[in-house]
Structure 1
Amino acid sequence: MSLSQLVAPHLPYLRRLARALTGSQASGDAHAIAALEALVADPELLRRDLSPRVALYRVLLEVWKRVPTNTAETIPADAAAGGAERNAQRTLSALELLPRAAFLLEVVEGLNREEIAQALDIDTAEADSLIQQASIEISGQISSDVLIIEDEPIIAMDIEALVEGLGHRVTAVARTHTEALAAVAAHRPQLVLADIQLADGSSGLDAVNDILAQAPIPVIFITAYPERLLTGERPEPAFLITKPFSVEAVRAVISQALFFGQRAEPNAALAEAV
């Protein structure tokens, strides 16, 4: 099987991981492209003794650990994001990011501990330690006000229970574009969790774009079909939760979104990604 045939099915997930690691579409895609360029230059980097997906993640993570994230010299920044995401990343150390990478690989990408160790080029004991460290960081997240945009009542109730169980406050549950804008006008949230298709036939993407025109709020999209949003065409979200979701996945992605939202300048890193 050719290199392109091995890699192609995993590209949407490579980009999802890259964006979650860096906190934006522009930076994540730049790192994913750098990983692919490295593979083209040296196909042996894709370890054939590992699963293609893990081997691809390993290449991405090597690029991510090696290249200073989001500096003007290495990562092109787009106009919408400005310097916000670069400033956010400068406040981070590798020690802070590695536990988050391990945690994302487990709860978002679904890798087991051995695969996480392989992707990060560490042993399983260190992978366990990183994930435990990430859990401690995540549990210390500042409680935030959250708007849920979801038209399915049962799913909305599940998300609300999960969010509140993580120590956050749900300001409103909106079923339509109009309700979402009214909810933001009544109480500006610090985070938005949005479905793609709403009850009135409108798009969650459109609702979020209108919200972001008012305020730079971190956004997480919830969808059963993440590959439909990771097509390479803009606009695209930096953070996704895939249905059906788990408490661990919600906790990890909320932590990431709030982390970058809080560390960035007012025109936060996620604004350009949706």
Structure 2
Amino acid sequence: MSLGSQIAANLPFLRRYARALAGSQTSGDAFVRGMLEAVLSDEALLATVGGGRVALYRAFSTFWASASVSEPLDAGAGLVAGEHEAGAQARLGTITPPARQALLLTTLEDFTAGEAAAILGCTPEDIRQMVADAIADIEREQTTTVLIIEDEPLIAMQLEDLVTSIGHSVSGTAATRSQAREAVAQTMPGLVLADIQLADGSSGLDAVDDILTVGSMPVIFITAYPERLLTGDRPEPTYLVTKPFQEATVRAAISQALFFGSTRPL
């Protein structure tokens, strides 16, 4: 496989990582674009990214470390600018960038501790400690109510148990777009977990669009079809978890979404 093909195959996932790390699609894509421009202008650096996914993320991590010092982080795609961004910036002061990276690499991106250590230039033990510290810091910040849009009962129950186990409450569950509208009419959630293919053939994307017309909250899509969202043809979700999922991945996504998604406990 050519170098260009390797980068292209991993680019949607690197963009997902950058969005979660930076807090918005616009800011995350700017970092990815800057890293690729730096790589293409440096033959020695270009050669290093041919080592696969770990090497590509290592190159991005190096660029992020040098560039993020002066780059502000955005609050998150679809959120109101200003108040939300200020809240995210304040919370960022409590968690170091390496810990945030370690958390995302080992959960959202599913790297092993050893691979994440190679990306960040530390030891696997360092990674495990940073992940534990980051999750604890984020979860102390706030709790909220969660709407679960999922048509598979066992998965919905698993998500309910996960949400309540980390201190949040479930405002409702929905298996269809119409049920989601009804649930929101009764209780406005502070966070939405949504599948994109629902029981009656309706779309979780449409259900989320309905919800966002009446309220503003972070949304995490949990789907077996991530390629339907990671196309670059439309605004992409900041938080996207692939089925079958690990509970640690969902937990990390919830923590990150709440970290960027509100200025106060909900």
Alignment TM class, shorter chain as reference:
0.7 to 0.9
Q: C-alpha distance in 1, partners of 2:142/2:78?
A: 29
Alignment-derived partner of residue 135 in structure 2: 135
Any idea what the Cα deviations from partners look like across 1:194-218, whole Å, max 9, x if unmatched? 0101222221111111211111111
Contact conserved, 2:50 with 2:56, CA < 8 A, in 1? no
Q: Alpha-carbon deviation of 1:225?
A: 2.2
Shift in Å at residue 95 of structure 1? 4.7
Q: Which residue of 1 aligns with 2:111?
A: 111
1:222-233 to structure 2, matched below 5 A, reads 222-233=222-233
Q: Structure 1 vs Structure 2: percent identity of aligned residues?
A: 48
Residues 41 and 86 of structure 1, relative CA distance in 2, 3 Å threshold: farther
Secondary structure at the aligned position of 1:214 is classed as coil
Deviation at 1:35, TM superposition (A): 1.7
Moved more, 235-244 or 47-56: 47-56
After TM superposition, the runs of 4+ consecutive aligned structure 1 residues lying more than 3 A away are 46-51, 68-72, 77-90
Q: Contact (CA 8 Å) 1:192, 1:217: kept in 2 or not? A: yes
- Please say if residues 88 and 259 of structure 2, whose CA atoms lie closer than 8 Å, have aligned partners that are also in contact: no
Distance in 2, matches of 1:164 and 1:80, equals 25
Q: Distance in 2 between matches of 1:239 and 1:142?
A: 18
Long gaps (5+) in structure 2: none
Aligned twin of 1:161: 161
Secondary structure of the corresponding residue to residue 260 of structure 1: helix
CA contact (8 A) 1:177 1:203 kept: yes
The amino acid of 1:87's aligned partner reads A
Give the 3 Å change call, closer, same or farther, for CA 149–79 of structure 1 in structure 2. Answer: closer
Q: CA deviation at 1:227?
A: 2.6
AA paired with 1:38? A
Query: Taking structure 1 as the reference length, what is the TM-score of the superposition?
Result: 0.85
Which residue type is aligned with residue 218 of structure 1?
A: P
User: Separation in 2 of the partners of 1:93 and 1:41?
Assistant: 33
Structure 1 residue runs without a partner (length 5+): 265-274
Matched, 1:151 2:151: yes
SS state of the match for residue 262, structure 2? helix
Contact 1:116 1:127 in 2 (8 A): yes
Counterpart CA distance in 2 for 1:158 and 1:15 is: 28
Q: Distance in 1 between matches of 2:116 and 2:34?
A: 21
RMSD over equivalenced CA pairs, Å: 2.8
The equivalent residue for 1:27 is 27
SS where residue 193 of structure 1 aligns?
strand
Pairs aligned (count): 263
Q: 1:197 to 1:145 in 2, by over 3 A?
A: same
Q: Alpha carbons of 1:78 and 1:137: their partners in 2 closer, same or farther (altered >3 Å)? A: closer
Amino acid at match of 2:244: P
Mapping for residues 47-196 of structure 1, pairs under 5 Å: 48=48, 51-68=51-68, 71=71, 82-83=81-82, 86-88=85-87, 90-91=89-90, 92-93=92-93, 95-196=95-196
Question: Secondary structure of the residue that 1:147 maps to in structure 2?
Answer: strand
